[in-house]
Structure 1
C-alpha cells in the first residue's frame, strides 16, 4: 500500500485539520473534530446537516458553506458517524428554524441519523437519498443506495434554505429532487482502505464492475472492459429505464469520478452520455463534471441524471460558496 499518510489510525484527524486550515474563511472544525460547520451562520434559516463515512471527499464536508450545508459529520473511513456527532452539530448550527438531515440510504447512516433526530431535543426532519439504480438492495442498505445524486439534493435544498423556505417545504423539496434523480456507476479498479492496507475487492486487468457502490460493493455484474461509449450506454439506459423522463425534458448531467479517474476521461464520458441523452429526446441544459463523490483511490465514474423544472434550474444556478462548489455572486 502506497499512500500519503503518517499512520492509518490518524488519517481522518490529520486530514480534517488540514481541510479546516485550508478553508478557514468558509468553515470551522467542531470540538473533537465531530463536525465541520459554516463559519458564518444565517439567522432564521433552517440548518442543513449531512454526513457519512469519510473516503468520499469532497462529500460531505466539502459542501459546507453558503448555499449548501450548514454542517457535516465525518465518520471514520467508510463508517457512519455516530448520533452524538449529529446532535452536537445540530446544537451548533440550529438558529431556531429547525434542522434538516440529508442522509444517504445506508443502514448505519439511516440508523444513526434517526437516533440523532430522536435525541436532538429540537425540530428535526430528514430526507433520505436513494438514487442508485444498480441494485435494489445491498449489504449496506435497506433499499437503493444513496450516491452522487445526494450532491444535487444538497445543492438545491441548500439554495432553497438560503431563501428562508421553512422546514416542511424543504423536506418535501428534497424528496421531490431525489425522486427526479438517478445514478449508476462503474469501477475499473478497487480502492484501498488505509486501515485494511489492501484492496477491498479484486478486478482483473480486463474486468470492470457495472453498478458498483461507492464503498466498492458489488453492482449488477462483472464484465469485460469495453469502450467508454458502451459503458455510458449501459449506465444511461439503466438510468432512463428507471427514471422514465418525458421526451423533451430538460436534465442535469453529472459525471462523477471515483477518485482515480482523470478529467480527460470524465469529460470523454460527458460527451458519450450527452449524445445518448440527446438521442433519447432529452435536453441537457446543466452539467457538472469532476470527482465529487469519491471512493478513495478507486478508478471509475458514475453518471447521474436529474430532471429539471424552472424551480430546480433556479436553485441549481443560485450562488454557492463551499470548498468544493463555488459559483455565482
Structure 2
C-alpha cells in the first residue's frame, strides 16, 4: 500500500467525513444519500449545485459556501454521483427561487443530473461546461470535456446568485462564462485510484500526454517531455487559436495543478503563459495559481483562460468563503 488508506473502498466516505469535520463552520455532510451542503442556506436565493466523481479535490465539495455552491454531490472516485444523491441534494437546497445545476460534460453526469431534474419538483435549469480543448477533435461521443473551467463558472455565477440574480439570469450568465472559457492539460504520468494497483495512464519514462483529461483520458498527442516554455507554448497556442480573444479583452489566467505538481512548477508555468500573453499584447486582468481541479496525485497541470467582460470581472472579485476558495471576507 502506497497511499494513506484504511480500506480502499472506504476512501471517499472517510475523506468526506474528515472534510466535513474540518470545515464544520461552512458545510454539512449528509450521508444517506451522500452530498455536501452549506451549513447555513440563504432564503430566497437561487441555489447552485454541481458534482461529479471524487478525486478532483477541492472540486466540488470544496466550493460549497458563500459566493459559490449551495450543494455538491460526490460520486466514487472518477465516477458520477447517482440520481438519488443529486435529487436529495436538490431537495435539500432548492427553493421557490429556483435551482441551477452546473454539470461537467461527462456521460454519467449528464444522464444522472437529467434524470434527477425530471424527478425534482421545483423550478430548475441546467447548463453544461465543456471547456477542454485538449482531446484531438473533441470526444467522439459527447464533445469537449468539462474540467477546470467549471470552477470559474461556479465562482462567477455563485456571486451573481448571492447578489439576488434570478434563475434565468444565472443560467444565461453560466452559459456566457462557459462560452468564454477554454482549458487544456498536460500530464507527465498517471494517478492510481485507491482500489487499483495500476495507474490510469501509463507513460514511458520521459514522455508526456498533451491534452490529457482529468481522468487520464487520451489527449492530442504523446511525446518526449520538453522544456516548460515549450510545453506552455503548445498549450497556449491551442487555447488562443480556439478562443480568438480580442486585444482589449481582459483575461483570467488560471494555472491548475493536477495533484502531483508542486507550487514551484505551477508558477514556472504561469510565468511562461503570462510572457506569451504579453508578447501578443493581451492583458492578464486576474490570475489564480492553485490545484482546484486535481486528478488525485497526477503529475500534471492545466491552463484555463477566460475572456472577462465588466460584469464577470466584478463578480470574480466579489467575496467568496468556501473551504477551497476564499477572498474578500
Answer whether TM exceeds 0.5 for this pair.
yes
Which category of TM-score, normalised to the shorter sequence, fits these structures? over 0.9
Post-superposition shift, 1:236?
0.6
- The 8 Å contact of residues 9 and 195 in structure 2, kept in 1 or not, is answered as yes
Q: Does 1:321 align with 2:321?
A: yes
Take 2:168 and 2:261, find their aligned partners in 1: how far apart are those partners? 39
2:74 aligns to what SS in structure 1? strand
Q: Does 1:246 align with 2:240?
A: no
State the Cα deviation string for residues 49-71 of structure 1 (Å, max 9, x = none).
Answer: 00000000100000000000000
1:114-263 equivalences in 2 (<5 Å): 114-135=114-135, 136-138=137-139, 142-263=142-263
Take 1:289 and 1:125, find their aligned partners in 2: how far apart are those partners? 31
1:20-35 equivalences in 2 (<5 Å): 20-32=20-32, 34-35=34-35
Partner residue, 2:17 = 17
Post-superposition shift, 1:183?
0.4
- The 8 Å contact of residues 186 and 300 in structure 2, kept in 1 or not, is answered as yes
1:86 aligns to what SS in structure 2? helix
State the Cα deviation string for residues 135-193 of structure 1 (Å, max 9, x = none).
Answer: 24337x60100000000000000000001100011000000000000000000111101
State the Cα deviation string for residues 27-81 of structure 1 (Å, max 9, x = none).
Answer: 0001325100000111100000000000001000000000000000000000000
Partner residue, 1:7 = 7
1:3-82 equivalences in 2 (<5 Å): 3-32=3-32, 34-82=34-82
Post-superposition shift, 1:122?
1.2
TM-score under structure 2 length normalisation: 0.98
Unaligned 5+ runs, structure 2: none
Post-superposition shift, 1:327?
0.3
Post-superposition shift, 1:248?
2.4
Take 2:295 and 2:139, find their aligned partners in 1: how far apart are those partners? 17
Post-superposition shift, 1:17?
0.4
- The 8 Å contact of residues 33 and 88 in structure 2, kept in 1 or not, is answered as no
Take 1:44 and 1:309, find their aligned partners in 2: how far apart are those partners? 27
State the Cα deviation string for residues 77-112 of structure 1 (Å, max 9, x = none).
Answer: 000001111110011111321100000000110111
CA RMSD between the two structures: 1.0
Partner residue, 2:312 = 312
Matched pairs, number: 328
1:306 aligns to what SS in structure 2? strand
2:58 aligns to what SS in structure 1? coil
2:32 aligns to what SS in structure 1? helix
- The 8 Å contact of residues 133 and 182 in structure 1, kept in 2 or not, is answered as yes
Take 1:27 and 1:208, find their aligned partners in 2: how far apart are those partners? 38
- The 8 Å contact of residues 33 and 84 in structure 2, kept in 1 or not, is answered as no
- The 8 Å contact of residues 33 and 85 in structure 2, kept in 1 or not, is answered as no
Unaligned 5+ runs, structure 1: none
Q: Which runs of 4+ in 1 moved over 6 A?
A: none
- The 8 Å contact of residues 260 and 297 in structure 2, kept in 1 or not, is answered as yes
1:236-315 equivalences in 2 (<5 Å): 236-315=236-315
Take 1:155 and 1:8, find their aligned partners in 2: how far apart are those partners? 32
- The 8 Å contact of residues 103 and 129 in structure 1, kept in 2 or not, is answered as yes
